[in-house]
């Protein structure tokens, strides 16, 4: 089995943002040509993250939720418990993938998840992410360094949506936001989290997959 087909999926539960960001940076800086790709799936404690080109005007009233300026593209978004955050630590050069292809597969993975629940979802060229009935359900923000990706996507599964009202999500004033639990009665949220990562791994061409629950 080639390295390009191997993947470690780490399901890490609820985590603070800053330490996980630092671990992503360290993993990417220290990885070698023999490092197996990883996908980290987790939820974050409440936090607003602002992309490196983000504009302060999109922070309306952040209140007691911290704002962290990060090294990904895009504008401000919110992370909180009940949101599926998926980080892609992938050697895209080894897999012979372009950044646009990886972004498209992230979008298609969310669309596939929603299709599992008979929901019509779509991506938009003018505003990256995934939408249902003109409301955004998933945001994307990727960074590539030395041919390797980090950061990833955030899909709203079953969470408190009110903090999105404190910002212009992804830089769009009045952007409607939605979540899977509002669209699917009796949603099994844990199953939805797993389905999302399963779709992503499949679409990125991984066939030898190991699942872990820690970073050690």
Question: Out of 76, 89, 113, 170, which one is annotated catalytic?
Answer: 170
Distance CA(181)–CA(191), nearest Å, equals: 12
Report residue 163 as tokens. 């903090």
Residue 46 neighbours by CB distance under 10 Å: 17
3-class SS at 107? Answer: helix
User: How many C-alpha atoms does 58 have within 13 Å on its Cβ side?
Assistant: 23
Give the CA radius of gyration of the chain.
16
Q: Is 148 a catalytic residue?
A: no
- Look at the block and give the residue holding tokens 């899977």: 180
Pairing of strands 37-44, 77-79: unpaired
Residues acting as catalytic residues: 170
């Amino acid at each position: 089995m080639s390295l390009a087909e191997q993947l470690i999926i780490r399901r890490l539960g609820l985590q603070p943002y800053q330490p996980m960001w630092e671990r992503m940076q360290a993993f990417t800086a220290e990885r070698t040509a023999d490092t197996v790709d990883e996908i980290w799936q987790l939820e974050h404690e409440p936090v607003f993250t602002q992309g490196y080109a983000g504009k302060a005007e999109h922070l309306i009233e952040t209140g007691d939720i911290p704002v962290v300026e990060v090294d990904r593209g895009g504008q401000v978004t919110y992370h909180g418990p009940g949101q599926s955050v998926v980080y892609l630590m992938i050697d895209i050069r080894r897999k012979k993938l372009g950044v646009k292809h990886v972004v498209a597969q992230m979008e298609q993975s969310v669309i596939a998840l929603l299709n599992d629940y008979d929901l019509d979802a779509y991506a938009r060229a003018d505003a990256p992410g995934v939408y249902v009935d003109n409301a955004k359900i998933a945001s994307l923000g990727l960074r590539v360094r030395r041919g390797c990706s980090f950061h990833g996507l955030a899909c709203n599964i079953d969470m408190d949506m009110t903090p999105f009202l404190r910002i212009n999500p992804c830089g769009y004033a009045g952007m409607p936001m939605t979540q899977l639990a509002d669209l699917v009665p009796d949603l099994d949220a844990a199953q939805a989290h797993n389905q999302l990562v399963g779709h992503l791994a499949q679409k990125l061409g991984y066939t030898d997959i190991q699942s872990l629950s820690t970073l050690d």
